[in-house]
Structure 1
């Protein structure tokens, strides 16, 4: 099978990480894979370095459309990874006439309008990383089946020395380490996290909170941290390559979002045996129910209580991490997810 992966995002986030996992998985199964990506972007650079596949770089969505018009017919499957590239692929589809598979990871309601519904109807196969996203699409009026194809997480050797050096640098060797990893953007609800940490800090001072990630809300988040008097407690770490190294020093992983598909960072916590406290955002309960503590969204007191429960209950914490680890190894391996994708592609091709 000859597969074109399409993702033109400028940044490196969960969707780009999954695109690279898809590429690696398809290559391992003996398929030919090409990538259409943003010129100079991290996905293009990482894919070229780690896989050696042909990477076609474009500077705009118009460039992606023109590539598909000229070359799309060379592929058996065009697999698009974002809403924008779905639009481009469908607008060009009459020229190349090959099946388009769209993987949706966002739980936001699609844009209203005739074009949005039209592009979904013209997409040959819709997949999502959680049942929740499928429900969102159906509530939008999409009648097609939405196939749930889970995210990949692969266990890597962690650089524990790097993590320990960070502890020493920050002077937090004797503190419990609570942490999260995610962009500072509205749907991650960083204010909810700040207020939860503020609630917890009023009860105990044996911890520090580390936020790995950056984004458009950084200035506002810094001001709120200062307003709450948490400058020495809530530390903004910025963006770090291979952030998974630091999971080795986490005592609790916390997520405060009000919107999610399937949070990759929670799956990472499962894999590296870090107990999780998270909000009931989007598809999160599908993976965390019975394997960690779930809290209502926008309820900092509940989030603080969940963290405290993990810190004070080592037996419960151990029970959760064991269940979570078993789950993620069974359902989110590169081997399983890749085969699920390939089975889906074959079904699409059989209808041609």
Structure 2
């Protein structure tokens, strides 16, 4: 089978990693796979170098017509059996390309409960018939799309993100490694957040919680944030304003996230909205305690194996982190839970069944 994955970009993010891991798995199973991306630099890539990455070259609205014909040409030349698109811009653009370019099977996957405002939701609804199937990554994200009338009721399918648990597993030596690298005292408790510096992730919510936590705890702790993005400057200013320079370390983009997750005492997700926050799956796979705001998909991931608090509530977030820090045990049951539900091979089997049956 020839499979073309199309994604908005290949920056550092959960959806990007999910697509690359899925492409790797399909390639290993003997399928011919390519990934086309609309815009940006390649930060996340598949492990197998034989999987070709194709730039569509969308940089602004001015380049949209050229990007449209570039994508059309890629599809006509490759002649895929299945085109599987991911994220809103790739989903909508490929649907429109299908109006003039034959596509045998087109599956569109949204990766969030909130993929934009009214115009984007209308775009989904108006172009719905151009896709053979539209999916989302959690039941709550599907419900959100239905509530916004982006898809006809009962037409959108939930397919969870698959995680390669060969990459995410607990490393006993990790704490010593990170403590040494960052010159921390051995009794320092480590809180970790992973994700881009954008509005969705709401890092001010987390920093205000850390400010409260600093007043409550007498034991040493540090917040590590792995990621980067357009709001970095604002986050740095808020760290200074809250007098948290000694308690927060911005790590930038990291390639050793499993090590960080194994080293930490708790992983925190402070977001305002998500689709299926894969970072929590990865954290649980590394046996970390987790605290998350109540965003789409979090109950489906965490269950009873972590703490969930309301969004935009720094005090509740601080209290949940404090409670989690008092539990020094590795989250072994949480690890077993996510491995039984989100294993990449299990999810890949489901995708292959969909590819064959649509």
**TM superposition score normalised by structure 1:** 0.90
User: d(CA) in 2 for partners of 1:247 and 1:267?
Assistant: 11
Equivalent residue for 1:150, pick from 124, 141, 160: 160
Distance change >3 Å, CA 115–CA 176, structure 1 → 2: closer
Distance change >3 Å, CA 71–CA 175, structure 1 → 2: closer
Query: After alignment, is 138-147 or 154-163 more displaced?
Result: 154-163
Distance change >3 Å, CA 227–CA 124, structure 1 → 2: same
Aligned with 1:202: secondary structure? helix
User: d(CA) in 1 for partners of 2:67 and 2:356?
Assistant: 25
Equivalent residue for 2:188, pick from 155, 175, 182: 175
User: d(CA) in 2 for partners of 1:244 and 1:41?
Assistant: 23
> How far is the alpha carbon of 1:159 from its aligned partner?
7.5
> How far is the alpha carbon of 1:218 from its aligned partner?
1.3
1:26 aligns with 26
1:311-350 matches, within 5 Å, as 311-314=325-328, 318=330, 321-348=331-358
Equivalent residue for 1:72, pick from 72, 75, 89: 75
2:48 aligns with 50
Query: After alignment, is 289-298 or 68-77 more displaced?
Result: 68-77
Provide the aligned length of Structure 1 versus Structure 2. Answer: 342
User: d(CA) in 2 for partners of 1:39 and 1:263?
Assistant: 23
Distance change >3 Å, CA 55–CA 186, structure 1 → 2: closer
> How far is the alpha carbon of 1:323 from its aligned partner?
2.6
Residue 293 in structure 1 maps to residue 293 in structure 2: no
Query: After alignment, is 138-147 or 175-184 more displaced?
Result: 138-147
Provide Cα deviations, 1:57-102, integer angstroms capped at 9, x if missing partner. 2322545422342342511111111211112111110222322111
Provide Cα deviations, 1:288-324, integer angstroms capped at 9, x if missing partner. 121101111111111111112122244xx55xx2332
Superposition CA RMSD, Å: 2.2
Equivalent residue for 1:196, pick from 209, 215, 229: 209
Distance change >3 Å, CA 83–CA 170, structure 1 → 2: same
Where in structure 2 are there 5+ consecutive unaligned residues?
59-63
Equivalent residue for 1:97, pick from 81, 102, 105: 102
User: d(CA) in 2 for partners of 1:64 and 1:158?
Assistant: 42
Distance change >3 Å, CA 204–CA 26, structure 1 → 2: same
> How far is the alpha carbon of 1:103 from its aligned partner?
1.1
User: d(CA) in 1 for partners of 2:288 and 2:11?
Assistant: 26
Distance change >3 Å, CA 14–CA 177, structure 1 → 2: same
1:213 aligns with 227
Aligned with 1:208: secondary structure? strand
User: d(CA) in 1 for partners of 2:340 and 2:314?
Assistant: 32
**TM superposition score normalised by structure 2:** 0.88
User: d(CA) in 2 for partners of 1:153 and 1:162?
Assistant: 20
Provide Cα deviations, 1:118-159, integer angstroms capped at 9, x if missing partner. 123322111111111101111122215211111122232777
Residue 243 in structure 1 maps to residue 254 in structure 2: no
> How far is the alpha carbon of 1:230 from its aligned partner?
1.0
1:139 aligns with 147
User: d(CA) in 1 for partners of 2:260 and 2:235?
Assistant: 22
Aligned with 2:274: secondary structure? coil
